[in-house]
């Protein structure tokens, strides 16, 4: 807003409010903030102080234990070598698409005999390869708890694929703590695709966003 009637239009003071379990709590952004009107002359200061409150002061109590813990684990000189976006990438992972063929090379198979490996195992990789990028993100979230690939990339990321048994009418089972996906002895690729997509889209657990 670039006009000169900020005080008349917005009727704001140097305060910020938030909802606390149904009650509105108001805090001053400066001393005696309730009596300091936001005007055209001080509106920039108001915005800066409001951002400082939202991004820092309002969460200081919750953030401080995290900050101490983070620096306890990662507080070495090596941390200064990275930019903030580099650290975010290492912590949060990459949102870019990934290669299912590369993931196949690092996957460990458990309980697959030669027949299951040729049928269910082969169908699984065909289905994964045919997925859209959006569906691959859902698959990754289903198996690992996060829809983002670790920064080490799929060439080093390891997954475990387990054969659970012959009950083809059951849905795949994921163990996100171990990056493990359990499949059953499905009768066709279409049946595998239908069961896997249903499990991916209709299930919910502890996920990382």
Helix (H/G/I), strand (E/B), else coil: 205: coil
Phi, psi of 82, rounded to the nearest 5 degrees:
-110, 145
Give the pLDDT confidence of 100-148 residue by residue, as tens digits.
888 888 899 999 999 999 999 999 999 999 999 999 999 999 998 888 8
Give pLDDT, residue 100: 87
Which of 44, 78, 81, 177 is the catalytic position? 177
**Whether 74 is catalytic:** no
Task: Identify the CA nearest to 106 among candidates 66, 70, 149, 63.
Answer: 149
Q: What is the mean pLDDT of residues 62-87?
A: 83
Length of the chain: 209
Predicted TM-score (pTM) above 0.85: no
Separation CA 188–CA 36 (nearest Å)? 71
Weakest mean pLDDT among 36-45, 150-159, 176-185: 150-159
pLDDT tops 60 at residue 208: no
What is the residue-wise DSSP string for 147-198?
SSB-TT-TTT--EEEEEEES-TTSPPEEEGGGTEEEEE--SSHHHHHHHHHH
- Of the chain, the percentage scoring pLDDT greater than 70 comes to 94
Residue 77 has pLDDT above 80, yes or no: no
Residue 154 has pLDDT above 90, yes or no: no
């Amino acid at each position: 807003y670039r006009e000169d009637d900020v005080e008349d239009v917005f009727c704001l003071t140097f305060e910020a409010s938030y909802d606390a379990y149904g009650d509105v709590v108001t805090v001053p952004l400066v001393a005696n903030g309730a009596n300091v009107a936001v005007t055209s002359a001080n509106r920039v200061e108001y915005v800066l102080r409001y951002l400082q409150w939202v991004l820092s002061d309002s969460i200081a109590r919750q953030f401080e234990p995290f900050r101490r813990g983070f620096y306890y684990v990662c507080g070495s000189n090596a941390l200064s070598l990275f930019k903030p976006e580099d650290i975010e990438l290492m912590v949060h992972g990459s949102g870019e698409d990934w290669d299912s063929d590369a993931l196949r090379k690092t996957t460990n198979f458990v309980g697959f005999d030669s027949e299951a490996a040729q049928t269910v195992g082969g169908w699984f990789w065909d289905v994964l390869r045919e997925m859209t990028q959006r569906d691959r993100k859902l698959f990754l979230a289903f198996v690992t708890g996060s829809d983002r690939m670790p920064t080490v990339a799929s060439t080093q990321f390891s997954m475990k694929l387990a054969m659970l048994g012959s009950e083809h009418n059951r849905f795949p089972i994921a163990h996100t703590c171990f990056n493990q996906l359990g499949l059953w002895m499905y009768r066709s690729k279409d049946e595998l695709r239908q069961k896997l997509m249903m499990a991916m889209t209709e299930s919910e657990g502890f996920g990382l966003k």
